[in-house]
Structure 1
Amino acid sequence: MHQGENIRNILKGSGKQMGDIADLLGLTRQGLNYHLRKDVLEDGFKRLLQAKFPDVFNFENESVVRDQSNAYSIGQLQQADGGDSPFIDLGNGQYIMIVPLVQDYAYAGYLSGYQDDEYLEELPKHSFAVNKQHRGHYMAFQVIGDSMSNGTDESITEGSTVTGREIQRHLWNSRFHIHRFKDYVIVHKEGILIKRISKHDVDTGIITCQSLNPDKDAYPDFELNLDDCQQMFNIVNVTQIR
């Protein structure tokens, strides 16, 4: 993947529309696309990105970073050891993780395609900043509805994107860490749910799910049997829309 595509992935993960990003940079949409199609970014465009997104881009140190086992260039797409998700080293102690994104209209398709590597590779991508390279399998899901919105900082609002780390199935026999990771993406045989898990009965395999929305008539607590679930993800990142 060339440098322009790397930058495009990072910008897409910012939560802003590409047209708005072009306006912020003082470019037309066509002008932005011109730069993002290049294998190597022009110096003027790099300075512009760094000026407008100083917390994300740092091109002042693009030397090769080396350790005992490998070497890679800052700003280039890499694969972490033991991790499924590629990353981009920003060179400032931060990394951009890039994960497959299941958009709201694709929920039904994911239920039938989640085990198909080709299907997963064709999904759009979501990117977000982290402070280290994470191992494991991560997926992002676009939020449908307001069941997880209660007007507080804990809200997960409709249209936001949640990223989850998959809990391998053999670990379902142990109690989920519901005090550390409260909210989950549950890939159930009848649909994808984003809920808080308030209880996990290891003996019966029953989890109690709750919505944050205070309207309990519309969003009552309910139980699910893990035998009816296909995947479980604990939510590690929420990218809210405004």
Structure 2
Amino acid sequence: MLSTNLKYLRKQHNLTQVQLAEKLEIKRSLIGAYEEGRAEPKLVTLVKMGQVFNLPVDDLISPDLPNSLQSGSSKNKSNVRVLSITVDSQDRENIELVPYKASAGYLNGYSDPEFMEELPKFRLPMIQGPGTYRAFEIKGDSMLPIPSGTVIVGRYVERWQEIKDGTPCIVVSLQEGIVFKRIYQQEKHTALRLHSDNPIYEPYEVKLEDVVELWEAKAYISTSFPMAEISLDKLTSLVLDLQQEVKKLKVTK
């Protein structure tokens, strides 16, 4: 029953009717009508629902979807992601910040509303738009010149197939935890290949079945400013100019 399944999935993803309507690009009143069985969505809307919940249309109209997901019998079990979010007083999604110290706990609490509620929250109006955003503090030098301690703001990726090769992403996986890398899709679509911007680090693969979440990097926040690069020729020129200035001062004396 679509009406029962839609309401169940919306609550599992912690979405309000308004938020789901925005993702589906329809009126909120239609969500209520679908959940109460007073109307049936068009095929194009059903397809969008499948994309939002990472489920095929057949599963959306399954007569026993809640039980099949809870028992793990769904054939798409590995693709089901229950994304917990928080909203402000105006029902707008927050950007939750996952500090590096909370990274380990995030793997256990990413779908736990109580864990998410305890994370710091903020908003960036200049990048707010369709989709869900989250921020992660990174550590290490594998993505230099972006330094350790930088906060990466990412948009949640519902379909990893839509990500272009070379896109910087936060990858949350059972294998590696939380890492910031450029991702490349493998031809057989069984794994993602992760590349560092720092060439001293070798690329490696993460199995798709181990990927919990994928966040496309949209912005970063850092308290460290990049050092200006001065070439040897430029440095030599500066030294010569200083020597000329010194000579002029000696002559004037």
TM-score, normalised on structure 1? 0.52
* Cα deviation digits, residues 44-97 of structure 1 (max 9, x gap): xxxxxxxxxxxxxxxxxxxxxxxxxxxxxxxxxxx9773767589xxxxxxx98
Count, aligned residues: 143
Q: Report what 2:154 is aligned to.
A: 164
In the other structure, the counterpart of 1:8 is none
Deviations along 1:174-217, whole A, 9 cap, x unmatched? 342235xx2000001131111011x20253322111111122xx
Distance in 2, matches of 1:102 and 1:194, equals: 13
Q: Which AA in structure 1 matches 2:130?
A: R
Q: Is 1:187 the equivalent of 2:183?
A: no
TM-score, normalising length from structure 2? 0.50
Report the Cα distance in structure 2 between the residues aligned to 1:164 and 1:104, rounded to whole angstroms: 15
Structure 1 residues 35-184: aligned runs within 5 Å = 82=22, 98-130=94-126, 133-149=128-144, 155-168=145-158, 171-172=159-160, 174-178=161-165, 182-184=167-169
Query: Is this contact kept in 2: 1:175–1:201, CA < 8 A?
Result: no
- Looking at structure 2, the residues matched to 82 and 175 of structure 1 have their Cα atoms a distance apart, in angstroms, of 20
Matched residue of 2:136: which SS?
strand
Aligned residue for 1:60?
A: none
After superposition, the Cα gap between the structure-2 partners of 1:163 and 1:230, relative to the gap in structure 1 and judged at 3 Å, is: same
CA contact (8 A) 2:86 2:117 kept: no
Give me the whole-angstrom Cα distance separating, in 1, the residues matched to 2:131 and 2:101. 26
* Distance in 2 (alpha carbons) for counterparts of 1:232 and 1:106: 17
Q: CA RMSD in A?
A: 2.8
Q: Please, which runs of 5 or more residues in structure 1 have no aligned partner? A: 1-78, 89-95, 150-154
Greater fraction strand: 1
State, as a whole percentage, how many aligned pairs show the same letter.
30
**Which whole-Å CA distance do the structure 2 matches of 1:188 and 1:144 have between them?**
16
What residue identity is the alignment partner of 1:125?
Answer: K
Residue identity in the other structure for 1:162 = I
Which residue in 2 is equivalent to 1:225? Answer: 207
Please give the secondary structure, in 1, of the residue aligned with 2:141: coil
Query: Could you say if the C-alpha distance between residues 203 and 214 of structure 1 is closer, same or farther in structure 2, counting changes exceeding 3 Å?
Result: closer
Higher normalized helix content (fraction of residues)? 2
State the Cα deviation string for residues 142-192 of structure 1 (Å, max 9, x = none). 01111100xxxxx32111100111111xx23x342235xx20000011311
Q: Alpha-carbon deviations, 1:100-141, whole Å to 9, x = none?
A: 00001000000000001121111012443416x412221100
Runs of 4 or more consecutive aligned structure 1 residues displaced over 6 Å after TM superposition: none
1:234 maps to which residue? 216
CA distance in 2, matches of 1:226, 1:193: 15
Larger Rg: 2
Q: SS of the counterpart of 2:143?
A: coil
- CA deviations 1:10-44 (Å, max 9, x no partner) are xxxxxxxxxxxxxxxxxxxxxxxxxxxxxxxxxxx
Paired residue type of 2:182: R
